[in-house]
A and B are shown apart, each in its own frame.
Chain A
Amino acid sequence: MAAFHPLVASRVRISPLLPAAAAATAPVYACAAMPYARRRRFSAIVATAAAAAAAASSATEFDFNTYMGEKAAAVNRALDASIPADEPPAALHEAMRYSLLAGGKRVRPALCLAACAVVGGREAWAMPAAAAVEMVHTMSLVHDDLPCMDDDDLRRGKPTCHVVYGEPIAVLTGDALLSLSFHHMARTDSYPPDVDADKHPARVVRSIGELARCIGSEGLVAGQVVDLEMTGSAEPVPIDRLEYIHLHKTAALLEASVVIGAILGGGSNEQIERLRMYARSIGLLFQVVDDILDVTKSSEELGKTAGKDLASDKTTYPKLLGLEKSREFAERLLSDAREQLSGFDKEKAAPLLHLANYIAYRQN
């Protein structure tokens, strides 16, 4: 690419990421040569942190697992109901349902609902948006798995959409899910009757605009494009480029989830922007932790092939910075995210706080 401007220039930069020196002197292939003993040691650090998080959560009397279970069930019900049941073509709707209801933790919808609640809204006001972000997420996975893209046969332990239904239907399924997400958000009858009749339409327009921007050619798609262009390149990816990819590929949709939740909940502009910063931090955190887990955990623990990044020579944070610095970076991102929540009511912010902890300390 001739003129590449990293995202950090066009969007708010996530607070001082790393000392420049750390990036410059990082042992680029450190983990490729990492002896087994070192892998064990870092694995232990991640595990200890998880134990600490578990202890912290019991102290605040917030049962994160129950919370996530309830939200996932509610979101799954909304998703199931959102797909036209008795309208043809039945097979296309079946392919959509196959991809959309394949399980998953529903982290993005949970963030959307929690953001609505933290600004004082009712979660039900944001449920159509929570369903929409999961549809968009699913659509990006369906297209990502296509033979012309990542060419994956398995997703969450099940055959991917194009394996079951064929490529053309997988393309259409993705397109239809994308359209459904916007249609579902725009429909008046998606929302409960107690939304603020005067302000609700403007909020919906703003939310749809946020979602569209975050997933388009300057959001999610931009991340996929730059990632695609990096793949197969012999040169190591510089840290700012890696950050660009993650901020777009992963963080952008998390940002949309949180921001539209806050908009539909009636949050102030200041609250919305604080939550946007929170989402960007946890979005990047999500990917840094993913990279760390790939080199520290076994395939069995992850539920997917471990060491895949190394094997495919993919650029990762541990590769660029070393594991130790990657862990420090993750800690920094987590504390940045927490700081953005400090102005909110503690009790209402508990789900968002625990979601951030969960993303930081998850084991797979």
Chain B
Amino acid sequence: MALSSLSSLSMSLPLQKLPSVSKSSRFMSIRAHSAAPAASPSFDLRRYWTSLIAEVESELDAAMPIRPPESIHSAMRYAVLPGAGNEGTAKRAPPVLCVAACELLGAPRAAALPAAVALEMLHAASLVHDDLPCFDAAPTRRGRPSTHAAYGTDMAVLAGDALFPLAYTHVISHTPSPDPVPHAILVRVLGELARAVGSTGMAAGQFLDLAGASALGEAEVMQVLTKKFGEMAECSAACGAMLGGADPDEEAALRRYGRTIGVLYELVDDLRSASGNGKMRSNASVLRALGMDRALGIVEELKAQAKTEADRFADKYGDRVRPLYSFVDYAVERGFELRDAAATP
């Protein structure tokens, strides 16, 4: 079968050797920066992100009314929408990346928002199935009972099954098409979304994780991270690029940028959880497999790669490239708490 054009990007995050740096100083630099403000002075990532969370969540809310049969629609809402207060609050990183890529190219946010919302639906569907008793058996997710704990295993399987098609329905019915988004672009976006969660994307990552690949060597660990998190972030950036009217070079650069950011973000999460500085994670084995030194080295490499990709846009798009840089800094430094930001916009 003919592979999609991005297959050449898959699996390999070219990691050049870095001079080894002492374990403690490296690690400290990450922690020390975690309280610092966002790096780009004239772009307020926190405000940008927070306003997007609000927009994405109000569109999610409207996209999932309680209709008969009520039980399934209620379970679907539970899986995707936050609960009262802070519980269930999600960062919505995939939609933010999607919108930022679209806006970078000067296209209206409205072109990308439905795809951004669909990304959250697909993401939630995968998480619901990933939490099932036969998988990770996670009793909680985002600080409250996971969907199967609240609605039963059978309903959780079906809620996931229904969220996948809802994502495609939402993109089709809400993306402004054929103007400004031509049908041919919309078809590509639909295919991109489906591929990202399919057997060569996120499902591959979940499968490899099941198979215990993250307990093996560096190549296997990076493969799990790339499939489970990099693919989704690549998809987010690629959808934003297509919807924003990117040319092939721009789309390819944004894909690489998205993939790198996705892995970077997750790897830093694992480092933070291992240092007791972040949320509890089940796959801290990533760190065990890589070793702290190597993990920190990879963080630096990914950061440099992502900035290189962003540099490509700096001349042409000027200030609009700032969100791209600030995501990189945020992914590494976590300069602010979005949870609070989301609660008090």
Q: Which residues of A contact B (CB under 8 A)?
A: 1-5, 81-89, 91-93, 96, 139-140, 143, 146, 148-149, 166-169, 171-172, 174-176, 178-183, 186-189, 201-202, 204-205, 208-209, 211-213, 215-218, 221-222, 224-226, 228-229
Bound together, the chains give a CA A202 to CA B177 distance in angstroms of 10
Bound together, the chains give a CA A217 to CA B191 distance in angstroms of 21
What are 29 A-B interface contacts by the 8 Å CB criterion? Answer: A3-B70, A92-B204, A93-B199, A169-B210, A172-B203, A172-B207, A174-B161, A175-B160, A175-B164, A175-B197, A181-B194, A183-B194, A183-B195, A186-B188, A186-B190, A186-B191, A186-B194, A201-B182, A201-B183, A201-B184, A212-B172, A216-B162, A216-B165, A216-B169, A217-B72, A221-B161, A222-B72, A225-B71, A229-B69
List the A side residues contacting B203 at CB < 8 Å. 92, 172, 175-176, 179
List the B side residues contacting A93 at CB < 8 Å. 199
**Does B320 belong to the interface (CB within 8 Å)?**
no
Please judge, given known A-B contacts A4-B69, A82-B1, whether A143 and B191 are in contact too, CB under 8 Å: no
Bound together, the chains give a CA A91 to CA B203 distance in angstroms of 12
List the B side residues contacting A146 at CB < 8 Å. 157
| Cβ-defined contact, A1 with B69, below 8 A | yes
Bound together, the chains give a CA A205 to CA B181 distance in angstroms of 12
List the A side residues contacting B2 at CB < 8 Å. 189
Please judge, given known A-B contacts A175-B126, A217-B76, whether A201 and B187 are in contact too, CB under 8 Å: yes
List the B side residues contacting A204 at CB < 8 Å. 183, 187
Interface size for B (C-beta < 8 A) is 60
| Cβ-defined contact, A217 with B135, below 8 A | no
| Cβ-defined contact, A171 with B158, below 8 A | no
Would you list which residues of chain B between 297 and 334 have a CB under 8 Å from chain A? none
| Cβ-defined contact, B165 with A212, below 8 A | yes
**Does B211 belong to the interface (CB within 8 Å)?**
yes
| Cβ-defined contact, B135 with A171, below 8 A | yes
| Cβ-defined contact, A222 with B172, below 8 A | no
List the B side residues contacting A186 at CB < 8 Å. 187-188, 190-191, 194
Is chain A's binding surface mostly helix, strand, loop or mixed? Answer: helix
| Cβ-defined contact, B186 with A201, below 8 A | yes
Chain A nearest CB: distance from B157 CB in Å?
A: 6
List the A side residues contacting B153 at CB < 8 Å. 148
List the A side residues contacting B19 at CB < 8 Å. none
**Does B7 belong to the interface (CB within 8 Å)?**
yes
User: Pick the contact of B198 from A4, A180, A228 — CB < 8 Å?
Assistant: A180
Would you list which residues of chain B between 148 and 172 have a CB under 8 Å from chain A? 153-155, 157-158, 160-162, 164-166, 168-169, 172
List the A side residues contacting B68 at CB < 8 Å. 1, 3-5, 222
Please judge, given known A-B contacts A201-B187, A208-B190, whether A171 and B165 are in contact too, CB under 8 Å: no
| Cβ-defined contact, B172 with A84, below 8 A | no
Given A89-B199, A186-B191, A229-B71, 8 further pairs, Cβ under 8 A? A2-B70, A168-B135, A171-B134, A175-B197, A182-B193, A188-B187, A213-B165, A217-B72
User: Pick the contact of A84 from B3, B70, B129, B182 — CB < 8 Å?
Assistant: B3
Q: Quick one: closest A residue to B67, CB to CB?
A: A218
List the A side residues contacting B132 at CB < 8 Å. 168, 171
| Cβ-defined contact, B71 with A1, below 8 A | yes
List the B side residues contacting A179 at CB < 8 Å. 164, 194-195, 197-199, 201, 203
Would you list which residues of chain B between 35 and 50 have a CB under 8 Å from chain A? none
List the B side residues contacting A85 at CB < 8 Å. 1
| Cβ-defined contact, A183 with B134, below 8 A | no
**Does B178 belong to the interface (CB within 8 Å)?**
yes
List the A side residues contacting B173 at CB < 8 Å. 209
| Cβ-defined contact, B69 with A226, below 8 A | yes
Bound together, the chains give a CA A188 to CA B164 distance in angstroms of 21
Bound together, the chains give a CA A4 to CA B71 distance in angstroms of 11
Bound together, the chains give a CA A86 to CA B11 distance in angstroms of 14
Bound together, the chains give a CA A231 to CA B198 distance in angstroms of 32
User: Pick the contact of A222 from B69, B133, B160 — CB < 8 Å?
Assistant: B69
Interface residues as binary, B41-84 with A (CB distance below 8 Å gives 1, 0 otherwise): 00000000000000000000000000111111100100000000
Bound together, the chains give a CA A223 to CA B180 distance in angstroms of 37
Please judge, given known A-B contacts A217-B76, A217-B166, whether A175 and B69 are in contact too, CB under 8 Å: no
**Does B206 belong to the interface (CB within 8 Å)?**
yes
Q: Quick one: closest A residue to B166, CB to CB?
A: A216
List the B side residues contacting A89 at CB < 8 Å. 199, 204, 207-208, 211
Bound together, the chains give a CA A91 to CA B199 distance in angstroms of 10
Q: Quick one: closest B residue to A197, CB to CB?
A: B184
**Does B200 belong to the interface (CB within 8 Å)?**
yes
Bound together, the chains give a CA A180 to CA B188 distance in angstroms of 14
Chain B nearest CB: distance from A291 CB in Å?
A: 22
List the B side residues contacting A209 at CB < 8 Å. 168-169, 172-173
Bound together, the chains give a CA A180 to CA B125 distance in angstroms of 15
List the A side residues contacting B204 at CB < 8 Å. 88-89, 92
Bound together, the chains give a CA A114 to CA B133 distance in angstroms of 42
Please judge, given known A-B contacts A186-B190, A189-B2, A204-B187, whether A212 and B169 are in contact too, CB under 8 Å: yes
| Cβ-defined contact, A183 with B198, below 8 A | yes
Bound together, the chains give a CA A221 to CA B72 distance in angstroms of 8
Bound together, the chains give a CA A310 to CA B158 distance in angstroms of 26
User: Pick the contact of B187 from A205, A216, A228, A229 — CB < 8 Å?
Assistant: A205
List the A side residues contacting B164 at CB < 8 Å. 175, 178-179, 182
List the A side residues contacting B125 at CB < 8 Å. 175
5 nearest A-B pairs in the assembled complex, by CB-CB distance:
A186-B191, A179-B198, A201-B183, A167-B134, A183-B194
Please judge, given known A-B contacts A201-B182, A201-B184, whether A221 and B198 are in contact too, CB under 8 Å: no
| Cβ-defined contact, B207 with A91, below 8 A | yes
Bound together, the chains give a CA A186 to CA B190 distance in angstroms of 6
Chain B nearest CB: distance from A121 CB in Å?
A: 18
Q: Quick one: closest B residue to A148, CB to CB?
A: B153
Bound together, the chains give a CA A103 to CA B190 distance in angstroms of 29
Q: Quick one: closest B residue to A189, CB to CB?
A: B2
Q: Quick one: closest A residue to B133, CB to CB?
A: A148
